[in-house]
C-alpha cells in the first residue's frame, strides 16, 4: 500500500469520537453487553429479592427469603456437589482424551486431514439432539450401547443405566464427553501446530525420548492453550443443562441434578421465578469464584 | 516426528479406530433414521443391517410429505401423522439464517473490540475484558424473563415481526459468543507485532485505516476460526431459542416437536438430526484448514 | 353424515372438469378429490405408478379425507372477513388431536384468511411457555393448551367460553352445542370454580390393556382388581422372562409427570387420595402407602428401563412385545394397531382395575376426584391477554365443533370429547383392527362415563406433580434414598407439600 491511500484525520471531531480513542471500537460490544447481559443480570438480582406466592402469583419484596432458603436447601448442596463432580470428571476426560487424540491426529500424512474433519463432527450436533441419541442408545431394553455392555457381561440383562442412581451420572457424562472431547482436540491440534520447531529439533539431537519431549517441552509450551481451553469448557460445564434435562430429567431422584437443572425445574415446574433466579445467581457466583481461582493459580492472562 | 514403518501403520490404524469410535453414534443415528420402528425397538436383538430401509422419515421431515401417504406408497401403514407439523425444512432455514447472521454480527463486534483491547492502553481495559468473559458465566435461566420483557419492549419478538425475531435471536447469540470471540480475536491481534501499526500510522494512516488495510488482513485465519466456533455454538443452542421465539424454530427446538403424548417419533428425530449435520459438515470441511491453523489461541512464540 | 351428498357430487364434478381443462394441477386435483372423500389412497398410489400392493384397509384410510360442510365454510367466510390477515398462535403438546388439527387448519384459514400457527413442543415446555406468557402478560399466545393438572393455575388467565358465546352472538358458531360435551369431561376437566376455563380438547385416559394371546397361553383371566393384576404380572414375568417379556411396563421416569400419573392411580385404587378435606397431603396415610408399596411390586415385574421411561418408553415396550398387561393411556391403541406393529391386533382394551372402595368426595380436598381411571385430558382456553381474541375465538369454536372433532377422531383414532362423535357412524365403522383404529373407543366412552378421576384442582399442583412428587418417588424407586421405605418417602413429600400449601395461604 502507499501512503496516499490514507485520507487525513478528521481533525474537527472530538478525539473520543475518532478511531484514535477506544470508545468507538468498544461501543458495539459494550452496548450489547449492557442491554442483553448486564441489564437482565440486574433484573435477575432484583427478582431474587422477591417472594412469589404460587397461588396468587403476587410478588412481595422480601430480600432474605430466597437467599436464606437457598443455603438451607439440601437439594442445592446436592446439586452443587453433582455440578462439581460433573465438571471435574468431564474436564479430566476431555482434557486427557483431547490431548491424546490431538497428538495422534497431528500428522501431515494423507488422510489425516479427513480424520481431523470427521473428529469435529460431533460438535455440530445440538446437545439437545445428542442427548436424545444417547437416551436411545443407553436404553436398557433396546439401546445399542446398553445391549453391548450387557452382552459383555458387565451388567445384568435389561439393566437401565440411566434409571439407576449409581450409574445415571456415568451415562450422562458419556454423552457430554463424546460431544466435547472433539472441542479439546481442535484446540490442542491448533496449539500443537503452532509450536516452534527449533526446541524439538534440539531435543531430537540430544536424543530425548518421546516421553521426555512431551512432558518437558510440549506440555509446558502448550500450557496457555490448555489453560484457556479448560477455562472456556469449565465455564460451560458448570452450567450444564441440556444432557441432564433430556436424558435423566435430573434423576433418578436427584442423582444427576445440577445447579442449573434444579433452577430449571423450579422455574418451569413450580414457576417460582425468584427462587429459580436465586439458584441461577448462586451458579453465577460459583462460576466466578472457580474461574477467578483458576485464572489466579494458572496465571491465565486474558 | 518420524516413525518407523510398523509404528506408522499402527498409528494409522489407531487413528482410524479412534475416529471411528467417535463417528459411531452419528452413523448409528443415520442408520436409525432409515429403520422402521420395529427395527429400532426390537426386544430380542439389536438390529444392525437386517431390515428393509424406509425413507418415510426423510419424506416427512425433509419433503413435507404426509406419513399416511408415504406409508401407503411403501405398502406399510404406520398410523397417522400430519404433514405440516413435522415438515422441518423451515427449521433448517431458520437455523441457517440465525447461525450465519449471528456469526457475522459476533465476528464484526468482537473484531472491533478485540483490536482496541489489544492495541490501546486505557483505564478499565482489564475490567472490560473481565466483563466480556463474564457474559458466558450467566446461566440462561436467570435472564429468560428479563430478556422476554426486553424483547417485547424493543420489538424483537418474532410474533410481532419475523425479521426482527431473527435479529433478536442473532443478537442474543452474539452476546453468548462474544466472550469466546473476543478472547480469540484478541490473542490473534496480540500475535501481530505493534511495529506494524506504528509503521502505518507514521505513514499518516488513521487507526481505522491501519486496522482495515494492515492488521485485519494479517489475522484472516483467526477470523475464520472464530467464525466457525460462533457458528457451532449458535447452531446448537437450545434454551434461548426455545423461549425467545415462537414462529422461528431452530433445529434443536424443532426436534422437540417429535416428543409426543403417545411416544416419541424416533424416526423423525433421527432423520432431522442426521439431515441437520450435513450443512454444518460441509461448512467445516470448507474451513477445516483455517480452523486448525487459526485456533492457536494466542502467542506461543514469546 | 354431515357431508351432503349433493354438494359432494357437484364438488367432484367441478374438480374433475377443472382438472380435465388443466385449470388445476394433478396435485391439486388429488387434494380436492381427497377432500371429497374419493379414495385418496388408492387414487394417489395408482397415479404415482406405485406397484407395491397396500396391505391395509383402503376403505378405512379413505374416510380420512372428508370435506367441510358448505354451510360451515360460508359461516367462516362471513364472520371471519373482518379478521383477514391476522395470525393467531398457540402452543401445544404433540397430541393426536393437535397433530391432526394442524393438518386440517387450512380449511379454517382458506375461508377466513386467518392464519393459525401451532407451536408444538413437549408437555413440560408447553407449561413453561404458557407460564412465561401469563407471568409477563405477553399475549404471545391467543389460545392456551392446558393440561388438566394446570387448569387451576391458568383459570384466571382465560375467558369463559360459555359466557363469551352468549356475549358475542354475532361471532357465535351456529349449532355449537355446549351440551354435547360429555358431562364428566366438563366437570373433571374444563370447570374450575364454577366457570369453564376452556373447552375440552383431548382425553387420554387410563384403561387396562392386555395381550390376549399371552393371557390365553398362561390361562390367566383378564384381571379386574389390582390384586389380580399383581398376581397375573408375577406369573407372566416368571414364565416369560426367558423370552424377554415382563408382566407389565410402567412409565416410572423419576422427576417426570408420567410417574406422578401412575402413582395417583395406585393411591386411588387403595381407597386413598392425594389431599384430604383438611387440605393436607394424604399420600402418606395407610391407603397411600399401601398403593405405593404395590407399585414397588409392579416395578419388579416390569422391564428395568421402566424407571427411565415416560409414556414414550411404555408405548415402545408394548409395541415391541415386551410386556403383556398395562394400565395406561388409551391413546396408545391406534399406534399399537399400525401395520408394521409386531403386536397388531393383539392388544385388547378392558375396564380399568377396580380396587378398594373409593374415598368419598367429602373427604378429599381441592376438587380432587378419586376414581379408577386417571385421565390426562386437556382443554383449549382463550387467553385474556390475546390481542386477537375474536379471531382466536372463531378458531377455537371451529376446532371444537362437532364436525372437526369427529374428523380428528377419525384421523387419529383417539377418544372424542363430544357425545355425538362417539355416536357417529364413521367412528363406529373404524372400530376394527388397523392403523388409526377406534375399536377401543366403546370402552373409553364407558370409562369416561363411569370411572373418570381427576387430580386436584389447585394452582400449586403443576409444581407438585412435576417436581416434589415424581422426584421423591424417583429417589425411592431407584434406590437413591429412603432405602425402599415407602412410608418415609411419602412423609418427606407430605412435609414439603404441606409447608408449600400453608405458605401460599390456600
Nearest by CB to residue B255, choosing from A28, A129, A196, is A129
Query: What's the CATH code, domain B98-294?
Result: 1.10.3720.10
The residues spanned by each domain of chain B are 98-294
Q: What is the pLDDT of residue C66?
A: 58
Mean pLDDT along residues B272-291: 80
Q: What is the pLDDT of residue C27?
A: 56
Of residues C111 and A193, more confidence is placed in C111
Q: Do A18 and B277 touch (CB under 8 A)?
A: no
Nearest by CB to residue A165, choosing from C309, C467, C479, is C479
Query: Which residue range forms the structural domain that includes residue C247?
Result: 206-373+449-504
What is the per-residue pLDDT across A119-137, written as a single tens digit (0 to 9) for each? 988 999 999 999 999 999 9
pLDDT at B180 over 60: yes
Q: How far apart are CA C473 and CA A277, in angstroms?
A: 26
Q: How far apart are CA C84 and CA C115, in angstroms?
A: 8
Contact in structure between A193 and A234 (CB atoms under 8 Å):
no
The Cα of A242 is separated from the nearest Cα of chain C by a number of Å equal to 13
Q: Do A251 and C471 touch (CB under 8 A)?
A: yes
Which residues on chain C are in Cβ contact (under 8 Å) with B148? 132, 136, 138
Cell, residue C116: 393459525
The β-bridge partners of A52 are A59
Mean pLDDT along residues B257-284: 87
Which residues on chain A are in Cβ contact (under 8 Å) with C129? none
Q: How far apart are CA B3 and CA A107, in angstroms?
A: 11
Contact in structure between C241 and C318 (CB atoms under 8 Å):
no
Q: What is the pLDDT of residue C37?
A: 47
Q: Which chains touch A (3 or more CB pairs under 8 A)?
A: B, C
Inside any domain, residue C314: yes
Q: How far apart are CA A294 and CA A16, in angstroms?
A: 36
Q: Are residues C155 and C241 in the same domain?
A: no
**CATH number, domain containing residue C292:** 3.40.190.10
Q: What is the pLDDT of residue B117?
A: 93
Which residues on chain B are in Cβ contact (under 8 Å) with C41? 68-69, 72
Q: Which of A264-278, B61-75, B78-92 holds the top average pLDDT?
A: A264-278
- Mean predicted lDDT score pLDDT of chain C: 85
Q: What is the pLDDT of residue C336?
A: 87
Q: What is the pLDDT of residue B68?
A: 64
DSSP 8-state symbol, C2: -
The β-bridge partners of A61 are A50
pLDDT at C118 over 50: yes
Q: Do B260 and C93 touch (CB under 8 A)?
A: yes
Cell, residue C13: 364434478
Contacts with C428 (C-beta within 8 Å, 6 or more apart), sequence order: C438
Q: Do B85 and C98 touch (CB under 8 A)?
A: yes
Kindly identify which residue of chain C lies nearest to residue B45, measuring between CA atoms: C244
What is the per-residue pLDDT across A261-287, written as a single tens digit (0 to 9) for each? 999 999 988 889 999 999 999 999 999
Interfacial C residues in 99-138 facing B (CB < 8 Å): 99-100, 102-103, 105, 117-123, 125, 128-129, 132, 135-136, 138
Share of chain C above pLDDT 90, in %: 58
Helix axes A74-105, A112-119, angle to 10 degrees: 170
Q: Between vectors from CA C354 to CA C350 and to CA C359, what angle results, nearest 5°?
A: 145
Residue C317 contacts A, CB cutoff 8 Å: yes
Which value, to the nearest 10 degrees, does the dihedral of the CA atoms of residues C402, C406, C409, C411 take?
-130
The residues spanned by each domain of chain A are 75-297
Q: Between vectors from CA C134 to CA C129 and to CA C140, what angle results, nearest 5°?
A: 65
Confidence of residue B299 (pLDDT cuts 50, 70, 90): very low
Q: Are residues C143 and C289 in the same domain?
A: no
Q: Are residues C124 and C75 in the same domain?
A: yes
What DSSP assignment string belongs to chain B?
A: ----HHHHHHHHHHHHHHHHHHHHHHHHHHHHHTS-HHHHS-SS---SS-S----HHHHHHHH---HHHHHHHHT-------HHHH--HHHHHHHHHHHHHHHHHHHHHHHHHHHHHHH---TTHHHHHHHHHHTTTS-HHHHHHHHHHHHHHHT--TTT-HHHHHHHHHHHHHHHHHHHHHHHHHHHHHHS-HHHHHHHHHTT--HHHHIIIIIHHHTHHHHHHHHHHHHHHHHH--HHHHHH-SS---HHHHHGGGEETTEE-HHHHHHHHHHHHHHHHHHHHHHHHHHHHH---S----
Q: Are residues C332 and C481 in the same domain?
A: yes
Kindly identify which residue of chain C lies nearest to residue B152, measuring between CA atoms: C138
CATH class assigned to A75-297? mainly alpha
CB pairs under 8 A between B and C: 164
In this structure, of A9-13, A161-165, B298-302, C180-184, the range with the lowest mean pLDDT score is: B298-302
pLDDT at C46 over 80: no
Residue C329 contacts B, CB cutoff 8 Å: yes
Residue A34 contacts B, CB cutoff 8 Å: no
Mean pLDDT along residues B1-7: 76
Q: What is the pLDDT of residue B73?
A: 55
pLDDT at C339 over 90: no
Confidence of residue C67 (pLDDT cuts 50, 70, 90): low
Confidence of residue C2 (pLDDT cuts 50, 70, 90): very low
Residue C140 contacts B, CB cutoff 8 Å: yes
Tell me: cis bond preceding A252? Omega within 30 of 0 counts. yes
Q: How far apart are CA C313 and CA C342, in angstroms?
A: 16
Contacts with B106 (C-beta within 8 Å, 6 or more apart), sequence order: B173, B174, B177, B178, B181, B226, B230
Q: Are residues C156 and C20 in the same domain?
A: no
Q: How far apart are CA B247 and CA B169, in angstroms?
A: 12
What is the per-residue pLDDT across C248-268, written as a single tens digit (0 to 9) for each? 999 999 999 999 999 999 999
Contact in structure between C237 and C246 (CB atoms under 8 Å):
yes
Mean pLDDT along residues C154-158: 91
Q: How far apart are CA C217 and CA C324, in angstroms?
A: 11
Nearest by CB to residue C474, choosing from A54, A57, A253, is A253
- Mean predicted lDDT score pLDDT of chain B: 86
Which parts of chain A have pLDDT scores under 70?
A: 1-12
Q: Do C121 and B74 touch (CB under 8 A)?
A: no
Which residues on chain C are in Cβ contact (under 8 Å) with A162? 308
Q: How far apart are CA C340 and CA C318, in angstroms?
A: 14
Cell, residue A84: 462439581
HSE-up of residue A109 (Cα within 13 Å, Cβ side) = 16
Q: Which run of H or E residues covers position C326?
A: strand C325-329
Q: Do C315 and B246 touch (CB under 8 A)?
A: no
pLDDT at C240 over 90: yes
Q: Are residues C18 and C140 in the same domain?
A: no
Q: What is the pLDDT of residue C19?
A: 53
Q: Do B26 and A125 touch (CB under 8 A)?
A: yes
Confidence of residue B9 (pLDDT cuts 50, 70, 90): very high
Q: How far apart are CA C399 and CA C417, in angstroms?
A: 12
Nearest by CB to residue A55, choosing from C127, C308, C459, is C459
pLDDT at B91 over 50: yes
Q: Are residues C190 and C322 in the same domain?
A: no
Share of chain A above pLDDT 70, in %: 96
Q: Which run of H or E residues covers position A169?
A: helix A168-193
Confidence of residue C506 (pLDDT cuts 50, 70, 90): confident
The β-bridge partners of C380 are C145, C199
Residue A162 contacts C, CB cutoff 8 Å: yes
Contacts with C376 (C-beta within 8 Å, 6 or more apart), sequence order: B261, C147, C148, C204, C205, C261, C329
A 10 A CB-CB count for C405 gives 24
What is the per-residue pLDDT across C387-440, written as a single tens digit (0 to 9) for each? 999 999 999 999 999 988 888 888 777 788 899 988 888 888 888 887 778 889
Q: Do A160 and C305 touch (CB under 8 A)?
A: yes
Q: How many domains does chain C have?
A: 3
Of residues C233 and B198, more confidence is placed in C233
Contact in structure between A115 and B19 (CB atoms under 8 Å):
yes
Contacts with A196 (C-beta within 8 Å, 6 or more apart), sequence order: B300, B301
Of residues B207 and C286, more confidence is placed in C286
Amino acid at each position: 500500500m502507499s501512503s496516499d491511500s490514507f485520507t487525513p484525520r478528521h481533525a474537527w471531531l472530538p478525539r473520543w469520537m475518532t478511531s484514535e480513542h477506544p470508545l468507538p471500537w468498544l461501543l458495539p460490544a459494550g452496548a450489547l453487553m449492557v442491554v442483553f447481559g448486564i441489564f437482565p443480570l440486574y433484573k435477575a438480582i432484583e427478582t431474587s429479592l422477591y417472594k412469589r406466592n404460587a397461588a396468587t402469583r403476587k410478588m412481595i419484596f422480601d430480600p432474605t427469603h430466597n437467599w436464606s432458603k437457598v443455603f438451607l436447601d439440601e437439594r442445592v448442596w446436592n446439586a452443587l456437589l453433582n455440578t462439581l463432580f460433573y465438571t471435574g470428571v468431564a474436564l479430566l476426560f476431555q482434557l486427557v482424551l483431547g490431548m491424546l487424540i490431538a497428538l495422534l491426529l497431528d500428522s501431515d500424512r494423507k488422510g489425516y486431514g479427513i480424520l481431523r474433519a470427521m473428529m469435529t463432527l460431533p460438535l455440530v450436533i445440538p446437545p439437545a439432539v445428542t442427548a436424545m441419541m444417547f437416551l436411545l442408545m443407553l436404553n436398557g431394553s433396546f439401546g445399542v450401547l446398553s445391549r453391548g455392555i450387557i452382552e459383555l457381561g458387565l451388567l445384568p440383562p435389561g439393566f437401565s443405566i440411566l434409571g439407576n442412581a449409581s450409574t445415571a451420572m456415568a451415562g450422562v457424562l458419556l454423552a457430554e464427553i463424546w460431544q466435547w472431547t472433539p472441542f479439546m482436540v481442535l484446540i490442542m491440534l491448533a496449539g500443537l501446530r503452532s509450536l516452534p520447531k527449533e526446541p524439538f529439533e534440539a531435543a531430537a539431537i540430544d536424543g530425548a525420548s518421546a516421553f521426555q519431549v512431551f512432558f518437558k517441552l510440549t506440555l509446558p509450551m502448550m500450557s496457555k492453550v490448555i489453560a484457556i481451553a479448560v477455562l472456556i469448557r469449565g465455564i460451560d460445564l458448570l452450567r450444564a443443562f441440556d444432557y441432564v434435562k433430556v436424558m435423566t430429567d435430573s434423576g433418578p431422584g436427584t442423582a444427576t441434578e445440577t445447579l442449573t437443572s434444579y433452577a430449571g425445574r423450579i422455574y418451569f415446574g413450580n414457576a417460582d421465578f425468584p427462587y429459580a433466579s436465586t439458584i441461577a445467581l448462586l451458579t453465577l457466583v460459583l462460576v466466578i469464584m472457580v474461574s477467578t481461582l483458576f485464572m489466579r493459580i494458572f496465571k491465565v492472562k486474558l | 516426528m518420524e516413525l518407523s514403518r510398523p509404528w506408522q501403520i499402527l498409528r494409522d490404524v489407531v487413528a482410524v479406530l479412534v475416529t471411528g469410535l467417535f463417528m459411531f453414534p452419528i452413523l448409528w443415528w443415520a442408520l436409525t433414521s432409515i429403520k422402521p420402528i420395529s427395527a429400532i425397538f426390537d426386544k430380542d436383538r439389536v438390529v444392525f443391517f437386517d431390515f428393509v430401509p424406509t425413507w418415510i422419515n426423510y419424506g416427512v421431515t425433509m419433503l413435507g410429505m404426509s406419513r399416511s401417504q408415504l406409508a401407503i406408497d411403501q405398502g406399510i401403514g404406520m398410523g397417522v401423522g400430519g404433514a405440516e407439523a413435522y415438515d422441518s425444512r423451515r427449521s433448517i432455514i431458520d437455523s441457517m439464517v440465525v447461525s450465519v447472521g449471528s456469526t457475522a454480527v459476533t465476528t464484526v463486534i468482537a473484531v472491533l473490540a478485540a483490536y482496541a483491547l489489544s492495541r490501546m492502553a486505557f483505564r478499565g481495559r482489564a475490567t472490560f475484558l473481565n466483563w466480556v468473559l463474564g457474559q458466558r458465566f450467566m446461566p440462561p435461566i436467570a435472564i429468560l424473563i428479563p430478556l422476554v420483557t426486553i424483547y417485547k419492549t424493543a420489538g424483537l419478538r418474532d410474533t410481532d415481526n419475523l425479521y426482527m425475531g431473527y435479529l433478536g435471536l442473532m443478537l442474543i447469540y452474539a452476546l453468548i459468543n462474544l466472550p469466546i470471540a473476543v478472547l480469540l480475536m484478541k490473542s490473534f491481534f496480540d500475535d501481530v507485532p505493534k511495529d506494524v501499526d506504528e509503521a502505518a500510522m507514521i505513514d499518516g494512516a488513521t487507526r481505522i485505516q491501519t486496522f482495515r488495510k494492515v492488521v485485519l488482513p494479517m489475522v484472516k485465519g483467526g477470523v475464520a476460526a472464530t467464525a466457525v466456533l460462533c457458528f457451532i455454538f449458535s447452531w446448537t443452542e437450545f434454551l434461548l431459542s426455545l423461549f425467545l421465539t415462537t414462529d422461528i424454530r431452530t433445529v434443536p427446538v424443532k426436534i422437540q416437536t417429535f416428543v409426543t403424548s403417545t411416544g416419541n417419533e424416533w424416526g423423525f428425530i433421527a432423520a432431522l438430526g442426521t439431515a441437520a449435520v450435513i450443512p454444518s459438515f460441509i461448512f467445516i470441511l470448507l474451513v477445516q484448514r483455517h480452523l486448525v491453523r487459526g485456533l492457536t489461541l494466542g502467542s506461543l512464540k514469546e | 353424515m354431515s357431508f351432503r351428498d349433493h354438494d359432494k357430487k357437484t364438488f367432484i364434478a367441478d374438480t374433475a372438469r377443472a382438472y380435465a381443462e388443466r385449470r388445476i394441477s394433478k396435485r391439486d386435483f388429488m387434494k380436492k378429490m381427497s377432500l371429497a372423500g374419493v379414495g385418496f389412497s388408492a387414487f394417489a398410489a395408482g397415479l404415482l405408478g406405485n406397484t407395491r400392493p397396500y396391505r391395509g384397509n383402503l376403505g378405512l384410510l379413505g374416510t380420512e379425507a372428508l370435506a367441510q360442510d358448505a354451510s360451515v365454510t360460508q359461516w367462516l367466510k362471513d364472520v371471519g372477513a373482518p379478521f383477514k390477515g391476522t395470525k393467531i398462535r398457540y402452543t401445544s403438546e404433540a397430541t393426536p388431536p393437535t397433530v391432526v388439527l394442524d393438518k386440517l387448519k387450512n380449511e379454517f384459514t382458506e375461508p377466513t384468511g386467518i392464519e393459525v400457527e401451532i407451536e408444538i413442543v413437549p408437555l413440560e415446555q408447553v407449561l413453561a411457555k404458557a407460564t412465561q406468557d401469563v407471568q409477563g402478560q405477553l399475549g404471545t399466545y391467543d389460545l392456551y393448551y392446558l393440561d388438566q393438572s394446570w387448569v387451576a393455575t391458568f383459570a384466571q388467565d382465560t375467558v369463559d367460553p360459555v359466557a363469551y358465546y352468549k356475549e358475542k352472538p354475532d361471532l357465535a358458531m351456529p349449532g355449537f352445542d355446549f351440551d354435547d360435551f360429555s358431562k364428566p369431561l366438563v366437570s373433571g376437566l374444563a370447570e374450575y370454580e364454577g366457570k369453564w376455563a376452556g373447552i375440552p380438547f383431548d382425553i387420554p385416559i387410563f384403561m387396562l390393556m392386555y395381550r390376549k394371546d399371552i393371557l390365553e397361553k398362561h390361562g390367566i383371566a383378564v384381571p379386574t382388581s389390582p390384586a389380580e393384576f399383581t398376581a397375573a404380572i408375577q406369573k407372566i414375568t416368571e414364565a416369560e422372562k426367558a423370552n424377554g417379556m415382563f408382566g407389565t411396563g410402567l412409565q416410572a421416569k423419576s422427576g417426570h409427570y408420567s410417574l406422578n400419573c401412575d402413582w395417583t392411580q395406585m393411591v386411588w385404587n387403595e381407597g386413598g387420595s392425594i389431599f384430604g378435606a383438611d387440605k393436607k397431603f394424604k399420600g402418606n396415610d395407610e391407603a397411600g402407602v399401601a398403593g405405593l408399596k404395590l407399585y414397588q411390586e409392579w416395578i419388579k415385574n416390569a422391564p428395568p428401563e421402566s424407571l427411565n421411561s415416560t409414556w414414550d418408553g411404555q408405548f415402545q415396550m408394548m409395541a415391541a412385545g415386551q410386556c403383556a398387561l398395562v394400565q395406561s393411556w388409551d391413546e396408545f391403541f391406534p399406534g399399537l394397531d399400525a401395520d408394521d406393529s409386531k403386536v397388531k391386533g393383539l392388544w385388547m382394551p378392558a375396564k380399568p382395575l377396580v380396587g378398594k372402595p373409593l374415598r368419598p368426595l367429602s373427604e378429599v380436598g381441592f376438587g380432587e376426584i378419586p376414581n379408577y381411571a386417571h385421565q390426562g385430558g386437556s382443554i383449549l382456553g382463550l387467553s385474556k391477554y390475546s390481542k386477537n381474541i375474536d379471531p382466536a375465538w372463531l378458531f377455537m369454536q371451529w376446532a371444537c365443533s362437532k364436525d372437526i372433532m369427529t374428523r380428528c377422531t377419525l384421523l387419529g383414532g383417539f377418544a372424542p370429547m363430544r357425545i355425538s362423535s362417539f355416536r357417529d357412524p364413521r367412528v363406529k365403522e373404524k372400530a376394527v383392527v388397523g392403523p388409526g383404529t377406534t375399536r377401543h373407543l366403546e370402552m373409553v366412552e364407558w370409562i369416561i362415563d363411569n370411572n373418570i378421576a381427576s387430580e386436584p384442582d389447585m394452582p400449586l399442583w403443576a409444581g407438585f406433580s412435576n417436581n416434589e412428587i415424581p422426584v421423591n418417588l424417583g429417589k425411592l424407586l431407584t434406590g437413591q434414598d429412603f432405602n425402599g421405605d415407602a412410608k418415609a418417602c411419602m412423609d418427606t413429600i407430605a412435609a414439603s407439600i404441606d409447608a408449600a400449601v400453608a405458605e401460599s395461604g390456600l
